[in-house]
Each structure stands twice: as C-alpha cells, then as structure tokens.
Chains A and B, each alone.
Chain A
Amino acid sequence: MTQINIAIQQFLGAVGHLAFDFLAQIGRIALFGMSALRHMVTGPFYPREFFTALVQIGWFSLPVVGLTAVFTGGALALQIYAGGARFSAEAVVPSIVAIGMVRELGPVLGGLMVAARVASSIAAELGTMKVTEQIDALQTLSTHPMKYLAAPRILAATLSMPILVAVGDAIGIMGGYLVGTHRLGFNAATYLKNTVDFLEAWDVGSGLIKGAVFGFIVALLGCYHGMNSGRGAQGVGRATKSAVVGASVLILASNYLLTEVFFTS
C-alpha cells in the first residue's frame, strides 16, 4: 500500500513539474513578446533588417501560400458540391468556398504554411547565430539583439501575413472558381456573382486580422526558440522543431479564440 502511495505521489509530482514547466515556458514567451513589442516602438530602428525580413517572410512565402490556397479552394468546391448534393444545395458552392476561404482556411492554412517555412528558418538562423556567438558579438558591438534581430522580423511577419492571407484568399477563391466552372459545370458569371454577393467586408477583415496575429505568433516563436537555442546542431534542431510545433499549435488555438470573439459575441 505504501509503495502504491509513493508511486502515486511520484506520478503526481512528475505531472506537477510538467505543468509548472509548461506555465513557465508560456510566461517566458509572453515576456519575450512584450519585450519585442517594446523594442519595435523604441529606437534605434534597423530599416535594412526590416525590409530584408519583409522580403524573406512575405515575398518568398507567396508561392507556398498560393499553391496551398489554389488546391484548398479547388478541394473545398468539390467537397461542398458533393455534400450539398445530399440536400440539393449545390448552388451554395461559390458562397461557401468564398466564406470558408476568407474566414478560416486562408488565414489558418496560410499561417500553418508560413509557420513551417518561416518559424523554422528564423529559429535555425538565430539558433546558429546563438551557438556561434554572433548574438554575443552583437551585444559587444553595442547592439541590442531584440532590436536588431527580433523586432524587425516580428514586425515584418505581422505586416506581411495579412497581405499573404489576402492573396491566398483570392487564389483560393479562384481555385474554387476553376473547379466550379470547369469540373462542376457552373456558369462563370453566376459563380462570380454568388461569390461577391454573399461575401461581407467583415468576412475578409476578420481573416486579415487573424493573419496579422498568426504572423506575430510565427515570428515570435521563431525568434524566441532561436535566441534561446541549446548548444550545437542538436540544440538548433530542437529549437527549430519547437518553433514550428509551438507556432502551429498556437495558431490553431488562437484561431479558435479569435473566431469566438469575432463571430459569437
């Protein structure tokens, strides 16, 4: 009996430790995020770093976001058509594709693809800088790493992600349009009219706000894990993995919360 009690205590202790570690990690990320926000609005500013990050994060993510969107829009059209046929509602395909893309799939899938591409790249780059003492070198050269490395990347991701989402939305709707008109027999003009008629400004706006939040999360997690990377190749690898997993989970969780706030209150 005593041994069982000890085993239960050890198990609960281990669970408690995990819970505390998890909460401590959330606290550290929150503090890092607040510090990054403070450094974004207080000088000195590094425009070259910002524009480089803007190109790396925004411009170079366009192909992957576009490809994801076009296939998602196409698949969505097929699914809604097949599902709608069960209760003779095939005509809703254009409007559901549009609403689904701009409210949910555009921002979430775009965010996840950017998380995979950008959070990993930022974490690997900053992690390598950490283990090769480049971040220490920055400090000895009187340059704050948060201002020079984190703030430009987080700002660039927060500003470029809504643009990526907007482009992704348009391409996704076009994917649905192509499948709808060429595969499902919709009239092109009717499809476009139904898309535009049922779409409201807030549908698009809410998706763009989500995009900005997801961009912030992606770069924040990339910078946090990169700048706190462990030693050696294994440390950088772990930082990269943690950045992608953390950013993906946080995107999905924050998507739910934002949807609650935007559409149920």
Chain B
Amino acid sequence: MITLNSVHKSFKDKHVLRGITLEIPRSGSLVVIGGSGTGKSVLLKCILGLVTPDQGQILLDGKDVSVGDREAFLDRFGMLFQGGALFDSLNIWENVGFRLRRGPKALNKSDARDKAIEKLRRVGLGPEVANLYPAELSGGMQKRVGLARAIATAPEIIFFDEPTTGLDPIMAGVINDLIREIVTEMGATAVTITHDMTSVRAIADQVAMIHDGTIKWHGTVSQMNETTDPYVDQFIHGRATGPIAALR
C-alpha cells in the first residue's frame, strides 16, 4: 500500500535518512523502532509531505505521493502527534471535530459536535470534557483527544508518533490497548513509531528497525523476539553495549 524507495533526507550537513526502502502493507500495524534522533518522525513526515525528501520515491497505492490532489491524499490519513499537537485556541470538541467542519463533506456545527463527542467517548472521555481547552487536561487525556482527532473521519491510514511518550505505565497501557482496538475495529493501516518495547508488543504486527538512516531489520514481533541481529538484540533489551553507540 505504502512503498518507500531509497528515500534520502538531510538537514544541512546532517544526513537523517540515507536510503529508506520499506513496504507498508494494507490493514496491518507496522511499528518502526529506533533510537532517538534516528529519523523516525522525519520518515512519517516525508510520507505525509510535511517534509520533502531529497531523493527517492514514496508511493501510495502505486501513485507518487508528491503529485496529485494533496487534500484528497491527506484525507486518507490521520495522525497522532507526539505531544498531542492540540490547537490551544480551540476547545476539545472543536479540536476533535476540526476536519469534520471542513471540506466538501463538512458537517454543521451541531452534527460535528455530536460526532466529536462520540469519538471522545470511543477513547474513554466523557462529554464533560468537550468544552474544556487543551491546557485544562492532563497529558494522558490530551493524548486521548489527539487519538480521537486522528480517527474522527475514519481515515484509511493512521500514524502514531511516540504515542506513549511522557505517560505513566498504566496510561501508556491504556493508550496502547486503544490503538490496537481502534486499528482492528476500523481495519485501518497503522504505522507507529516508538522506542517503547511494551508498545511494540501491544501494537505491532510487523516491526521495522531504523538505524543510521536505513532500515536495519524488518520482521514480525515473534521474529523480533528470536532474532540474532545484534542491532535489534541490543535495542529490544536496552543494552548500553553493542553496535549501536550509546551516545549519538
């Protein structure tokens, strides 16, 4: 469904992606793991067109993502950002219903609010939060709102950028379970980037490891647990010694 062919991206003299080649199958859950600063977020942003690759090609259903109707392309995606990225100036239901109120299929205010509240309920938040502002919610609640916004229009493809970063283990577990349930229930294609191995095991069908700007390893969760690849082994066991330098 999503194909990346030798994607390169540099920021000044820092080469972040050095030829990423990856196939992301339809209706599956792929988790991309890798250390901090290895280009996981840049990879997602390249697919979405938020960052333009220097070289290589990204295809969605065989079509180059850099050409064609950008709005129609983005309508197929939902994204949960690392910090939630909720709009401070809008209240919670307006954040969740942001896309519902725009475009050719825009809903009226009342219908959008109802639908936003339904999505909030789906992520375990009651209607009492609908009129609050993001600053009035805890980090875990903001993540849930971000998740509700990402799924509001039932997109085909959902990206999750570090969904459990900054959350306590219980709230992280809740978010992991929600992501798994929602992706299964919607039949969506999910791409999650994380370095939290609990999330990997809870969310992933397939795992890809990014290191030094390339995909070092790709396989299923059970293959990951059994692999002898020294990079994956060091990463999943959190060892300070191994081929991955501790200081990057």
Contact = CB atoms under 8 A, between A and B. Distances in A.
Interface string B53-78: 00000000000000000010011011
Interface in B73-93: 74-75, 77-79, 81-83, 85-89
B102 A137 contact: no
B103 A142 contact: yes
Interface string A44-70: 100000001000000000000000000
B99 interface: yes
A134 B88 contact: yes
A141 B50 contact: no
B45 to A, nearest CB: 7
A132 B89 CA distance: 13
Contact of A134 (B79, B82, B87): B87
Nearest to A143: B102
A142 B50 CA distance: 11
Given A139-B74, A140-B74, A142-B74, A133 B81 contact: yes
B48 interface: yes
Q: Which of A44, A128, A137, A139 has the most CB of B within 10 A?
A: A137
B218 to A, nearest CB: 25
Nearest to B146: A137
Contacts of A137: 79, 81, 85-87
Contacts of B75: 142
A136 interface: yes
A132 B86 CA distance: 9
Q: Chain B: interface secondary structure?
A: loop
Interface in A119-162: 128-129, 132-134, 136-143
Nearest to A49: B89
Contacts of B71: 142
Interface residues of A, number: 15
B82 A133 contact: yes
A140 B77 CA distance: 7
Contacts of A129: 87-88
A58 B20 CA distance: 50
Contacts of B81: 133, 136-137
Contacts of A136: 45, 50, 81, 85
Nearest to B70: A142
A231 to B, nearest CB: 11
B133 interface: no
A251 B140 CA distance: 45
Given A44-B102, A142-B99, A132 B79 contact: no
B98 interface: yes
Contacts of B103: 142
A141 B148 CA distance: 13
19 contacts: A44-B102, A52-B89, A132-B85, A133-B85, A134-B85, A134-B87, A136-B85, A137-B79, A137-B81, A137-B87, A139-B49, A139-B74, A140-B74, A140-B79, A141-B74, A141-B98, A141-B99, A141-B102, A142-B102
Give 9 closest A-B pairs by Cβ, nearest first.
A137-B85, A133-B85, A142-B74, A140-B79, A141-B99, A142-B71, A133-B81, A134-B85, A136-B50
Given A140-B77, A141-B149, 13 more contacts: A128-B88, A133-B82, A134-B86, A136-B45, A136-B50, A136-B85, A138-B87, A139-B48, A139-B49, A140-B48, A140-B50, A141-B99, A142-B75
